[in-house]
Amino acid sequence: MKYTVLFTAPYMIPFVERFKPVFAKYDIELIVPHVRERMEEEDLMKYAGQFDGAICGDDRYTARVIEACAPRLKVISKWGTGIDSLDASACARHGVKIGRTPNAFTTPVADTVLGYMLAFARRQPWMDKEMKSGKWEKIPGKALSECTLGVIGVGNIGKAVTRRARAFGMKVYGNDIVEIDHVFITETGIEMTSLQSLVSNSDFVSVNCDLNPSSHHLMNSETFALMKPTAILINAARGPIVDENALIEALQSKRLAGAALDVFEVEPLPLDSPLLKMDNVLLAPHNSNSSPAAWERVHWNTIKNLVEGLGMKYEG
């Protein structure tokens, strides 16, 4: 039996020729649209009813899309870990399986968070800018061991961030909606506390939780008002966890000292965003997952999830 798969994962598309022999082995034909960042609802609706499975990135598989693609659609294999862009309840109603790779990018994302903390604490980007403009100016920095870190979401990535921070001698506060293993708490010395206490006492606040109804705009004008005016917000999780307009207002009013953002409410970040003109903000294009080793694992696990979701045995 031949299958048709909508292939829209932007990290896999450049290597599609490499994967085609594997798909051919399972009688899978590919539809490969042009994808810049993700497929929106209307983009996906153009292909409704034409494919049996999907390999996707952060495509907007809404209830409307799932219903239009059913009953032919059998599986959506998500490249990566987060499935907040998929309507899981609609998939369940229509019998569409969801595949993903848990713990896919823990190491590179945790490294990214640590890199941002070092950049702000040691001030390298700003000293580099001054030097290249002809100024010999010693901008004061501080050691990470002099700083406190608040980790919002102590899952796989939050735990990895905590271990890295503790290795630098930082005091770490944690907050999560689920109970954290007591062994990890004892091992790291992390102090689990309320969100209000965490943001009030932290020099760096790292957002590492999932995006779900309880975390949407978790960081907002109220939480920013509780933070130290010298504090730095780091978001390498999902853009909508942070109320971007409230963040911009907090930065403009000097309620916060700075921010490091890898993700945004709208991606790509609109060119008229005030964030692009702020000297106290470090920006990246949703790239904290960057790791050849991690990508390779995710590529092949995504294919495995697809094949198995179509009811076949994956032989590698």
Using the predicted structure, report yes or no on whether residue 173 has a pLDDT greater than 80.
yes
Among residues 286, 296, 299, 308, which one is catalytic? 286
Start-to-end Cα distance in the chain: 19
If you write DSSP's letter for every residue of 152-212 in order, what string do you get? E--SHHHHHHHHHHHHTT-EEEEE-SSPPPHHHHHHH--EE--HHHHHHH-SEEEE-SPPS
DSSP letter, residue 32: -
Residue 31: per-residue pLDDT: 98
Cβ atoms 204, 80 nearer than 8 A: no
Among residues 29, 41, 130, 267, which one is catalytic? 267
- The three-state secondary structure class of 45 is helix
What global pTM score does this model have?
0.94
Between CA 110 and CA 128 the distance in angstroms is 24
Which pLDDT band, with edges at 50, 70 and 90, does 91 fall under?
very high
Identity (one letter) of the amino acid at 168? Answer: F
Examine the residue annotation and report whether 93 is marked as an active-site residue of this protein.
no
- H-assigned helices in 106-146: 106-122, 124-132
Examine the residue annotation and report whether 182 is marked as an active-site residue of this protein.
no
Examine the residue annotation and report whether 187 is marked as an active-site residue of this protein.
no
Among residues 38, 100, 164, 238, which one is catalytic? 238
Structural domains in the chain, sorted by start: 3-104+293-309 (3.40.50.720), 106-283 (3.40.50.720)
Residue 316: per-residue pLDDT: 77
